[in-house]
Amino acid sequence: MRPNKIKQMWRDGRFVTLGWLSVSHGFTAEVMARQGFDALCVDMQHGTTDMSDVWPMLQAISQTETVPVVRVPWNDPATIMKALDLGAYGIIVPLINTADDAAKAVAACRYPPVGMRSSGPVRAVHYGGSDYLAKANDEIVVMAMIETKEGLANLDAICATKGLDAVYIGPADLSFALGLPPGPDKTDPVHLSTCDKIRDTAHKHGIKAVMHCASAAFAAGSVKRGFDMIMLTSDLASMIAGARRQLDELKAATA
């Protein structure tokens, strides 16, 4: 089976760069995948992507060495299994509140006897290799999003979930949980200390911690703080920033 680069990098003690796809188009996915991210996430929760969009986007990513990841809209086994069958090598599950939630997500990503995933890797076997069914349990990465009051209260138990690979911090919803306005790259001391607590708890249980960022500066700081994967930027954010920069430079040059 094709090795999962994310797991390889983690074993080597390196941090992983993750890009984000909010726009549901194969060409956008291909262009982002060619920029050098270690992994790239198709966002089904808040992006414009439906299940019918996922497989061509995964095909586009698969033209490169970038690892295909999908954030599903909910902790729904059917959706998780379908995304995996289409070739996702990592799954991000939002709004994990309890250890039972985490165990449910893990079970959907693992074949029996470890989990409950149904056999039918219709595209995954072509992407992953002929021995996909035998080795997928060891290669697929499962990440649980910690972003609610309940999730924080059950953090230790969630991180202790057998088979969970990482916890993923959703900074906007986490802000709601902390009574703060949502926003990118939060520097509020309470927010920062909570993220550090999530990281430390994950590491205590031998799993990884992921930070969702919006700028290279904040991402670099997160790496220095010990986070194992950094979501750096999205297709949509990059398009907006690039267009604005060019317009601003034009207006300044012709003022």
Instruction: Tell me the whole-structure pTM to 2 decimals.
Output: 0.98
| Band (21; pLDDT cuts 50, 70, 90) | very high
The three-class DSSP label of residue 42 is: strand
The C-alpha atoms of residue 21 and residue 28 are separated, in whole angstroms, by 8
Kindly give the residue spans of alpha helices, DSSP state H, lying in 110-234: 124-128, 132-139, 149-153, 155-159, 171-177, 189-204, 216-224
185-242 pLDDT, tens per residue? 999 999 999 999 999 999 999 999 999 999 999 999 999 999 999 999 999 999 999 9
Q: Hey, which bits of 57-196 come out as E strands?
A: 67-71, 90-93, 141-146, 166-169
d(Cα 7, Cα 238) in Å, to the nearest integer?
A: 27
Tens of pLDDT along 76-115?
Answer: 999 999 999 999 999 999 999 999 999 999 999 999 999 9
Examine the residue annotation and report whether 205 is marked as an active-site residue of this protein: no
Choosing from 46, 191, 203, 212, which is the catalytic residue? 46
**Which of the 8 DSSP states describes residue 148?**
S
What's residue 106's pLDDT?
A: 98
Write out pLDDT tens, residues 201-214.
999 999 999 999 99
Domains, the chain, in order of start with CATH, read 5-253 (3.20.20.60)
Burial readout 39-62 (b: 16 or more C-beta within 10 A, e: otherwise): bbbbbbbebebeeebbbbbbbbbb
Query: Average per-residue pLDDT in the chain?
Result: 98
The pLDDT of residue 227: 98
As a whole number, mean pLDDT of residues 162-177 equals 97
Residue 153: per-residue pLDDT: 98
With residue 40 as reference, give the H or E element that holds it: strand 39-43
1, 8 Cβ separation under 8 angstroms? no
